[in-house]
Structure 1
């Protein structure tokens, strides 16, 4: 099939590739925990067992479960290769209503600029005022979006 599709482009991985992707997540966990010893303690492994996994042994599902408690992104690199992502069950997108709001603004703008409108292609004062609430809602939604972007760009040390 050519053209766009909603089916993910899943990449078949070798065992070595899969291990490397999982270990990227484990490495993030080690870094975030403050070192290999702290991480090993947090996931209830000896440093020797952790070293074995870092060198090529695949962690068990039980170990991965404990790692996810410490590093929620441990599977992200693997899942990305499969065209997937993991989100919390109760996650709510901050922009859930934003798409609908943008669509409503576009309709309002198209109607305001329509040649058969009160001012023809020129938006007249009553059309500006009629669209005020919608535009203020859009302004608020875009401000929240940009605020969230600002928060995401802050280093973790600034948040703590």
Structure 2
């Protein structure tokens, strides 16, 4: 097991903790405002395009999934992810679902960054995470398919220009 991966897992957990604390401080202790600010940053085009500054949740996930990390690193990472999900929970939305939406959207947006669908992914995720109830979340899709809707996704002709 690489000590770099083990260090990375611990750094990721520390970074998640720091981002929560910074967000609360900048939002005068208002958790909902801190959550919204974090969502806006994490699901922005600037964050998508700056993988080097990486997402402390998404970045080490591949190493964890490949089994490249030892049990202690995986435990620390798992606990950090769980704590972060707990912090993301709202009265209306499950924190783990919110975290999966954020991380999944960021990974997909980065993978499709050359196409317009990338920005649609970020927009749809931001809107889903800021909707206040289930019906509102069903209406968020920029393609009109709603959350979990069935629609054929088409790429715009060619890369973004």
Q: Normalising by structure 2, report the TM-score.
A: 0.22
